[in-house]
Amino acid sequence: MNIIDLTKPVPGDFTTYTVNIFLKSKQYHAYVHNFHISSMDGTYIDFPGHIREFDDGFDTSNYPAEKLFMVDASLLRLNRQGRDREIHVNELETCDVKIDTPAVIVDSGWNALEKKNNNEIYFFGKDAIQWFVSKKIHLFVSDVYENHKEPRGIFVEFFKNRILTVCNPANLEMINKSKVKICVFPLKIPGATQVPCRVLAIL
């Protein structure tokens, strides 16, 4: 079994103090950390309730664990050379990968670029968004989404259709198969609909 960690680290913004532990006249010192993080730090997951209008009652504490563990996923690896920023459905179809899984991973190649200009980051067009929705998936992992001045509404359309999104993944280029299994481990925080998570791809 080959496991690829798709998780970007959360910035180490925390304070540490020690707690004394006494055992048989010997003293030990245990570290305790107080973390100060954003729900968008590192690699993170969005539930539909991240947008209030699409809150379906699920959050990080009550979403079915089996829908995040060993989920079959199809990988679409794009070749963006010479293309515009906007990703359309015809480009997705050239990957020649049948989407017959409840999860999709898109590697646009953005993370692998040595030089990045966020004003040039790729994004999905409306036709691509509807194409994904039509595949009846419930989990979407991608290195790009919608970071430009005229949003196409990917999060609205996905959350409306109860599709969870994993953002800012790492190491997508290490996946060498079109079909893998995905495990997503969010922190279990009642009421939280966006939270950092650990993401693994199992080949």
Structural domains in the chain plus CATH codes: 3-10+39-202 (3.50.30.50)
19-51 residue pLDDT tens: 999 888 899 999 999 999 999 999 999 999 999
Instruction: Determine the average pLDDT of the residues in 107-125.
Output: 90
pLDDT(172) > 90: yes
CA-to-CA distance for 100 and 126, rounded, in angstroms? 21
Local confidence band at 117 (pLDDT 50, 70, 90 cut-offs):
confident
pLDDT(112) > 90: no
CA dist 61 → 16, 139, 152, 168 (Å): 26, 17, 30, 21
Instruction: Determine the average pLDDT of the residues in 1-23.
Output: 92
With 0-12 / 13-18 / 19 or more C-beta atoms within 10 angstroms meaning exposed / middle / buried, residue 12 is exposed
